[in-house]
Structure 1
Amino acid sequence: MLTASAKFTVGQVVRHRVHPFRGVIFDIDPTFSNTEEWWESIPEENRPSKDQPFYHLLAENETSYYVAYVSEQNLVRDDSGEPVEHPEVAEMFGPMLEGGRYGIGAHLH
């Protein structure tokens, strides 16, 4: 799951470089691991390279919560310190820790 080449880590809060959403990373694929249909649905001029880490996010925007699958090149750190309100975040990670990130299994004490 995690690789030495991954720029971000599970529990980290990130935001999309272009689109207005942010989320918490809950899984990492070392390279693209989704369907060709998903890949083809991205406009060709915006398709990222498959040979980079891809991140599974519990994501949110102004109107909804969802799971996003995003290439590393399209993510940046979110240093706002604001918690992610996605309803599955508390279940999966518990409360936000100091430093603006979430810990794996922190709520399982």
Structure 2
Amino acid sequence: MPIVRSAKFAVGDIVRHRLFDFRGVIYDIDPIFANSEAWYEAIPIDIRPPKDQPFYHLLAENSENSYVAYVSQQNLVPDDSEIPVSHPSIEQLFHKDSNGGYQLRSRH
């Protein structure tokens, strides 16, 4: 049985990818890899992450696009830029709290 690590980030956290130039807001967390084998095998072997760690669903963006991303914990770092994420689905899933953070809406 794989060793499951604790999630380092939470829903609503803004994170940045460690290797690639994109950032986003976490909207869901899988305790271990839960995507397709084809998706996993498409990752180059030299950067393929182990499956026994949390994987995060992000409303992601880069300088050109907004999209949904699925990223391993080892490849995420906190984004401390204080720049809001402008993904078009943010308003559907989150509302801003009094501190400017993202709180999941009770209904979405």
TM-score under structure 2 normalisation? 0.89
Tell me, yes or no, if the aligned pair for 2:49 and 2:74 is still in contact at 8 Å. yes
Q: CA deviation at 1:4?
A: 7.8
Corresponding residue number in structure 2 for 1:65:
66
Q: Distance in 1 between matches of 2:7 and 2:98?
A: 21
Tell me, yes or no, if the aligned pair for 1:83 and 1:96 is still in contact at 8 Å. no
TM-score under structure 1 normalisation? 0.89
Question: Does 2:96 align with 1:77?
Answer: no
What stretches of structure 2 of length at least 5 have no aligned partner? none
Q: Distance in 1 between matches of 2:98 and 2:70?
A: 24
- Greater strand share, 1 or 2? 2
Aligned sequence identity (%):
58
RMSD over equivalenced CA pairs, Å: 1.8
Equivalent pairs counted in the alignment come to: 104
What stretches of structure 1 of length at least 5 have no aligned partner? none
* Alignment of structure 1 residues 76-95 onto 2, 5 Å: 76-95=77-96
Q: CA deviation at 1:78?
A: 0.4
SS at match of 1:67: strand
